[in-house]
């Protein structure tokens, strides 16, 4: 390669960190699905309505929303693997308390504690962005998010089995040993240096302008110069300076709004999918869980496929490829899922659910990669916090769908909210005008920061300087 030999390149970490991070999101997603299997038992034990049941997944938003602020700041300043490991231990303890609840109020309060994993999302996104190259970011986001689908399948199938055999409380207790194992795995993961992958990306694009390596398409497409001027000391920046910096990233905000709208439907389907099949098609818990798994299988293929397709188009010079894949998947999912919910014929609904699940999940990986691409590494934790605050509104979808279902029935309620997904895709298209410039800014800033850190390392005094290894990033 034409990259200078004296430039420190990002470390290659392999699969272990990706598996560890995927494990955290698997638990978060899986327990939501096992909770849906416990709905009938909870309603029978505590005598509550659909609307009240809809508040149980939304209970996590309280801790997730409040906790995301300190977690986001800590994710930018401390060892992120330690932060996530502690969060997983707290999550595991709260799952045990969920199963011990003696009433609806107690269950609601213990559900709030489960939101610690939601609050820790900024650390996971920040870590993943620093573990793997920019050109592969959507693919690796897809592999990370596939953990959610694996967890969902375990929650649907395994949750249905244990609830049927032992009662609804086991929908929570089944996760205790897995939660402990994931916590240990996360704590053992290495901590990457911040921003090296983004700095490498700019160096690689510059090197491939002569026709070398995997980013030749981007070099030919001429990644534009940044519109903004950098130079901020991100570690010493005030709250006002950080806020001003984040508000200037237009592509991130369009992406966050789009993903919030699309997550509304996804969260609703995750929670109400099993009750939908039970009520509309009169199926048992295990059968309903198995059919809802069709959505999960399609979604698994969509998550992986969306990331791979977006990265390949990106490397070939379609700079806004991640934007376009999100928009396409969102609109196509609406076209498939509306007739699926309107139909009362299982032969029609099942294949549409599978195809709709594929398109439903297609935007997930490129969308998450996009909003990480456009934020400098030193601010990704705090940026993810702001996005989490906006996107946390989608956690109320089970409540809203439950309230609508009380009036018109669950089948029609799901059909009514599905078009929101297409609206989210249209909103994402507005990010296309700004994405390339924001991406270029992050690459330039990361290269500047790395040059400064490496320069300090190279010129650090060899004597009379204990601890002079250079500033930590």
pLDDT at residue 199, as a whole number: 83
Distance from the first to the final alpha carbon of the chain: 26
Q: Give the other-Cβ count within 10 Å of 399's Cβ.
A: 21
pLDDT at residue 463, as a whole number: 40
388 close to 68: Cβ distance less than 8 angstroms: yes
Domains along the chain? 16-224+234-456 (1.20.1250.20)
CA–CA dist 322, 326 (Å, integer):
6
CA–CA dist 43, 40 (Å, integer):
5
HEC secondary structure over 407-440: HHCHHHHHHHHCCHHHHHHHHHHHHHHCHHHHHH
Q: Closest Cα to residue 373, out of 252, 466, 288?
A: 252
List the alpha helices (DSSP H) in 59-136.
Answer: 60-75, 80-99, 104-114, 116-119, 121-131
Using DSSP's 3-state secondary structure scheme, residue 234 falls into coil
162 close to 170: Cβ distance less than 8 angstroms: yes
pLDDT at residue 217, as a whole number: 61
The set of residues, in sequence order, having a beta carbon less than 8 Å from that of 472 and lying 6+ positions away, is none
The set of residues, in sequence order, having a beta carbon less than 8 Å from that of 429 and lying 6+ positions away, is 323, 324, 327
Angle at which helices 60-75 and 121-131 cross, to 10°: 40
26 close to 158: Cβ distance less than 8 angstroms: no
pLDDT at residue 455, as a whole number: 53
Q: Closest Cα to residue 279, out of 294, 292, 263, 267?
A: 292
pLDDT at residue 10, as a whole number: 62
pLDDT at residue 5, as a whole number: 46
Q: Closest Cα to residue 400, out of 257, 265, 259, 256?
A: 265
CA–CA dist 182, 26 (Å, integer):
10
pLDDT at residue 465, as a whole number: 35
DSSP per-residue letters across 253-284:
HHHHHHHHHHHHHHHHHHHHHHHHHHHHH---
Six-digit token string for 44: 């029978």
- Residue-by-residue pLDDT tens, the chain, 473 positions: 444 444 566 667 888 899 999 999 899 888 888 888 888 888 888 888 887 887 887 777 777 777 777 888 888 888 999 999 998 998 899 899 888 888 888 898 888 888 777 677 788 888 999 999 988 999 999 999 888 878 887 887 888 888 888 888 998 999 999 999 999 999 999 999 888 888 888 777 776 555 545 555 665 556 788 888 878 888 888 889 989 999 999 999 999 888 888 778 777 877 787 788 888 887 776 777 677 777 778 888 898 899 999 999 988 888 889 999 999 999 999 999 899 888 888 888 889 988 988 998 899 899 989 989 999 988 998 888 887 777 777 777 888 888 898 989 888 988 888 888 899 899 999 999 999 899 989 988 888 888 766 554 544 544 443 333 333 45
């Amino acid at each position: 390669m034409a990259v200078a030999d004296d430039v420190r390149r990002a470390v290659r970490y392999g699969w272990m960190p990706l598996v560890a991070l995927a494990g955290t999101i698997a638990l978060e997603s899986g327990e939501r699905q096992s909770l849906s299997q416990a709905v009938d038992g909870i309603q029978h034990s505590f005598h509550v309505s659909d609307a009240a049941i809809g508040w149980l997944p939304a209970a996590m938003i309280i801790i997730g929303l409040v906790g995301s602020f300190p977690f986001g700041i800590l994710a930018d300043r401390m060892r992120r693997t330690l932060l996530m490991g502690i969060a997983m231990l707290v999550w595991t303890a709260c799952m045990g308390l969920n199963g011990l609840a003696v009433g609806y109020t107690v269950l609601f309060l213990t559900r709030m504690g489960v939101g610690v994993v939601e609050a820790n999302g900024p650390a996971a996104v920040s870590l993943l962005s620093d573990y793997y190259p920019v050109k592969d970011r959507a693919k690796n986001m897809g592999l990370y998010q596939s953990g959610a689908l694996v967890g969902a399948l375990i929650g649907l199938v395994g949750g249905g089995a244990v609830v049927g055999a032992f009662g609804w409380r086991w929908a929570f207790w089944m996760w205790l040993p897995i939660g402990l194992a994931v916590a240990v795995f996360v704590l053992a993961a290495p901590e990457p240096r911040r921003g090296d992958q983004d700095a490498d990306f700019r160096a690689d694009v510059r090197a491939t302008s002569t026709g070398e390596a995997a980013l030749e398409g981007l070099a030919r497409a001429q990644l534009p110069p940044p519109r903004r001027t950098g130079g901020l000391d991100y570690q010493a920046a005030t709250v006002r300076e950080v806020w001003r910096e984040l508000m200037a990233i237009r592509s991130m905000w369009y992406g966050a709004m789009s993903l919030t709208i699309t997550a509304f439907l996804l969260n609703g389907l995750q929670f109400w999918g099993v009750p939908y099949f039970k009520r509309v098609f009169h199926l048992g818990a295990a059968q309903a869980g198995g059919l809802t798994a069709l959505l999960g299988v399609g979604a698994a293929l969509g998550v992986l496929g969306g990331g791979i397709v977006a990265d390949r188009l990106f490397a070939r010079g379609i700079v806004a490829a991640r934007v376009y894949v999100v928009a396409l998947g969102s609109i196509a999912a609406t076209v498939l899922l509306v007739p699926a919910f309107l139909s009362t014929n299982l032969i029609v609904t099942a294949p549409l659910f599978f195809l709709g699940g594929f398109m439903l999940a297609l935007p997930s990986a490129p969308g998450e990669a996009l909003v990480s691409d456009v934020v400098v590494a030193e601010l990704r934790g705090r940026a993810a916090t702001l996005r989490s605050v906006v996107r946390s509104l989608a956690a109320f979808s089970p409540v809203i769908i439950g309230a609508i279902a009380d009036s018109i029935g669950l089948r029609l309620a799901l059909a009514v909210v599905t078009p929101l997904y297409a609206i989210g895709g249209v909103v994402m298209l507005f990010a296309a005008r700004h994405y390339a410039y924001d991406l270029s800014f992050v690459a330039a800033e990361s290269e500047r920061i790395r040059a400064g850190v490496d320069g300090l390392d190279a010129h650090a005094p060899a004597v009379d300087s204990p601890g002079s290894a250079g500033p930590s990033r």
